[in-house]
Amino acid sequence: MDINEKEYKEYCKKHAKHSPLIKDTLMAFLFGGLICMAAEGLFEFYLYIGIAKEIVKTLVPITLIFLSALTTGIGIYDDLAKIAGAGTLVPITGFANAVVSPAIDDKSEGMIMGVGAKMFTIAGPVIVYGVLSSVIYGLIYWFVGVI
């Protein structure tokens, strides 16, 4: 068929309906902000009931991870994320969802090669490059200190 490939690709790019960028950004800002605000509330609450500050710093992310895993398990998280987009993706909640959701799906393939291996198909790269960039950051920090 004599359709020019380059022309066709350009045509399709122009033709394709785009995501509503402004709406998506606003929603992400709103929901991401709300999650962070709720986390701040939790922080204050844990302090208020008398938990030591050092422990609270760990307790808040643990609570968020738990809530994210729970809502993923009962099937609400993805419905919320559809509206919130990056608002639920960027905070630690998104990471928890990315680990829990494949674990649920791949249970049918067993605990080792199913849950165990596939749990990290989405989160794996985040861990690898997260650790790598922290090493690079650490090295820079160290060199700056030496100088």
Partner 1 sequence: MGRLIKLENPPRINGYASVVGKREHEGPLSADFDVHDKSEKFGMDTWEKAESEMQRMALNLALSKAKLSPDALGAIFAGDLQNQCVGSVYASENFHTPYFGLYGACSTFAESIMLSALFVSAGYFDICGAVTSSHFCAAERQYRFPLEYGGQRAPTAQRTVTGAGAMVIGGGNTGVKITEVMPGRVVDKGINDVNNMGAAMAPAAIDTIESYFNESGKSPTEFDLILTGDLGAEGHSITLEYLQKRGLDIAAVYSDCGLMIFNRKTQDMHSGGSGCGCSASVVCGNIMKRFEKGTLHDILYIATGALMSPSSLQQGLSIPGIAHLVRLEA
106 binds partner 1 (CB under 8 A): yes
Residues binding partner 1: what is the number (CB under 8 A)?
Answer: 37
For partner 1, which residue of 8, 45, 66, 141 counts as binding (CB under 8 A)? 8
Q: Are 88 and 120 in contact (CB under 8 A)?
A: no
Comparing CB distances to partner 1, the nearer of 5 and 54 is 5
| Span of 7-15, 41-49, 57-65, 133-141 interacting with partner 1 by CB under 8 A | 7-15
Tokens 């422990």 found at:
55
39 binds partner 1 (CB under 8 A): no
| Span of 35-43, 48-56, 74-82, 129-137 interacting with partner 1 by CB under 8 A | 74-82
CA 28/CA 61 separation, integer angstroms: 19
Q: Which residues contact 72 (CB under 8 A, 6 or more apart)?
A: 78, 96, 97, 100, 101, 104
Comparing CB distances to partner 1, the nearer of 56 and 122 is 122
Please report, as a single letter, which amino acid is at residue 27: M
User: Could you tell me the sign of the dihedral formed by the alpha carbons of 22, 23, 24, 29, in that order?
Assistant: positive
Comparing CB distances to partner 1, the nearer of 50 and 75 is 75
- DSSP code per residue over 58-111: HHHHHHHHHHHHHHHHTT-HHHHHHHHTHHHHSSHHHHHHHHHHHHHHGGGG-I
For partner 1, which residue of 35, 60, 64, 98 counts as binding (CB under 8 A)? 98
Q: Which residues bind partner 1 (CB under 8 A)?
A: 1, 3, 5-6, 8-9, 11-12, 15-19, 24, 72-73, 75, 77-78, 80-82, 84-85, 88-89, 94, 97-98, 100-102, 104-106, 108, 122
